[in-house]
Chains A and B, each alone.
Chain A
Amino acid sequence: EDQVTQSPEALRLQEGESSSLNCSYTVSGLRGLFWYRQDPGKGPEFLFTLYSAGEEKEKERLKATLTKKESFLHITAPKPEDSATYLCAVAKGGGNKLTFGTGTQLKVEL
């Protein structure tokens, strides 16, 4: 059975304190790994798609990387506005659907 596991469930950082969020997956025939950001009371907002091991993508203070078993979302020098829940999802096979993890709730404090 396909599984997507995110850790930690919650993370509290001080402003400027860099860290990483983890998304481990067991899925046959991975056809894409997606990172989304979700603010309270809002829908998920697309951040990155990664397709193959070794691939990296960056956007402002965020950098996503992918290996054959997991993906990391690195947050460099975070700011309070980076506080949100970060969701990881995978697509496989024909790729009509995404399987989501339960998310990491990040809080960045001054």
Chain B
Amino acid sequence: NAGVTQTPKFRILKIGQSMTLQCAQDMNHNYMYWYRQDPGMGLKLIYYSVGAGITDKGEVPNGYNVSRSTTEDFPLRLELAAPSQTSVYFCASSYSPVAGSGNTIYFGEGSWLTVV
């Protein structure tokens, strides 16, 4: 059972370049999320999706785009990379809204991105 799979694990980008972080889950979860984690800071939500074709902004969406064409995949696009986007990115998924549901959010292993 693979769970949530992220690629690549590590990437170095130059300022102004673009790239896509891939995320796939095999748990048939409806909800998917992208978080970023900076040193000394809590995980911050970038974008989330409640199902194929539906996405919404989180706390820190600027500089990113997402799409959700299938239940399994939720790629995160970085356009015109900036040093402020140097971070660790985590994709996550859940079966339903986690509030009061008995469910929780499951995380991938992370993607380390450095913008130089």
> Footprint of B on A, CB under 8 Å?
4, 31-32, 34, 36, 41-46, 49, 51, 87, 89, 91-103
Contact = CB atoms under 8 A, between A and B. Distances in A.
Given A94-B97, A103-B42, A43 B108 contact: yes
B108 A32 contact: no
B40 A42 contact: no
Given A4-B42, A97-B58, A103-B42, A46 B99 contact: no
Interface residues on B, range: 20 to 34
B41 interface: yes
A31 B99 contact: yes
B107 interface: yes
B109 A43 contact: yes
Nearest to B94: A96
